[in-house]
Amino acid sequence: MVTAVIGVGLIGGSLAIELRTKGVSDHIIGVDSNGQHAVEALALGIVDDMMDLESAVMKADLVILTTPVKAAVILLPQILDKIRPDTVVMDMGSTKDEICKAVKHHPNRNQYVASHPIAGTENSGPKAALKNLFSHKIGILCDISQSNDKAVALAKSIYQALDMNLVYMDSDSHDMHVAYVSHISHISSFVLAITVLDIEKNTSTIFDLAGSGFASTVRLAKSSPAMWGPIFEQNAKYISQALGSYIEKLSEFKAHIDNNNGQAVQQLMEKANEIRKILKD
């Protein structure tokens, strides 16, 4: 099977590695508007060829869109315009509703499957691509009633080849859930980094005091603005709601500290500890 990977960064690159390793695809074509990433993806052997979008889409049995979500909204209709009747298209963006809306009435909508692998690191570009990035994590397929059976079956088989556990949702529910469990984690890290950098102008002090707790909490603050900006824009409604709730609860926690209400602080921490039941490792 010939696969075109549109956007050979962390996700696209890691995906290409798995598709080849697992024998899913014997020819992988990369497409990337970033010339340096194109050169790196070839040099690293992640892809067999780099092509322009139209040539790649014409040749591919499977097109997987792994660009930042702003580009996905623009490229997906163009891809559906050009594909062959038997080609299947998937995207792997972190938002789903706007991307799905962009092709809602496209005549080839049923050749497309909306998806999102919940996997990643704070790094980006083909050099950040990792083997086993997806293993044992969750892959979400959205609005599958809008896709034809062949497309859904192929999308499932791709996620199974990646060793992911499949979950099905509508795209609006997806966006709400990821606002809470993924997007505000990133914002809390970005803003924690800014807060600490602001006060600790002497960076050697931060380095000195950085225990593993701080380092893990702030790790996501290293994430790519080019990737996350469009996610925050497309999922603004749910992110605003989640962030509003987070700020309100932080203010409540602060008020208890200011009022020396140790018992209330204790109760909040005990409630937070319930996350242990869900995230065991």
Q: How far is the CB of 30 from a copy of itself (least distance, A)?
A: 24
Residue 87 touches a copy of itself, criterion: CB under 8 A:
no
- What b-and-e string marks burial along 80-119, b requiring 16 or more CB atoms within 10 Å of the CB? bebbeeebbbbbbbbbbbbbbebbeeeebbbbbbbbbbbb
Residue 270 near a copy of itself by CB under 8 A: yes
Complex with a copy of itself: residue 102 or 246, whichever CB lies closer: 246
Stretch that binds a copy of itself, among 51-59, 96-104, 146-154, 193-201 (CB under 8 A): 193-201
State the minimum distance, in angstroms, from the CB of residue 6 to a copy of itself.
22
Binding mask 132-171 for a copy of itself (x = CB under 8 A): -----xx-x------------------------x-x----
Which residues within the stretch 205-244 sit at the binding site for a copy of itself (CB under 8 A)?
Answer: 205-223, 225, 228-230, 232-233, 236, 239-240, 242-244
Site for a copy of itself contains 112 (CB under 8 A): no
39 binds a copy of itself (CB under 8 A): no
Compare residues 50 and 192 and give the one whose CB is closer to a copy of itself: 192
Binding flag, residue 201, a copy of itself (CB under 8 A): no
Residues near 81 by beta carbon (within 8 Å), at least 6 away in sequence: 106, 108
DSSP string of 72-140, one letter each residue: HHHHHHHHHHH--TT-EEEE--S--HHHHHHTTT-TTGGGEEEEEE----S--SGGG--TTSSTTSEEE
CA–CA gap between residue 30 and residue 225 (Å, rounded)? 23
Among 37, 96, 109, 186, binds a copy of itself (CB under 8 A): 186
Place of tokens 């990821």: 178
How far apart CA 72 and CA 53 sit, in angstroms, is: 13
DSSP state of 63: E
Choice from 2, 71, 118, 161 touching a copy of itself (CB under 8 A): 118
Question: What is the dihedral sign for C-alpha 84, 62, 151, 66?
Answer: negative
Instruction: List C-alpha distances in Å: 26 to 18, 21, 89.
Output: 11, 9, 17
Instruction: Establish if 21 lies at the interface with a copy of itself (CB under 8 A).
Output: no
CB of 70 to a copy of itself, least distance (A): 9
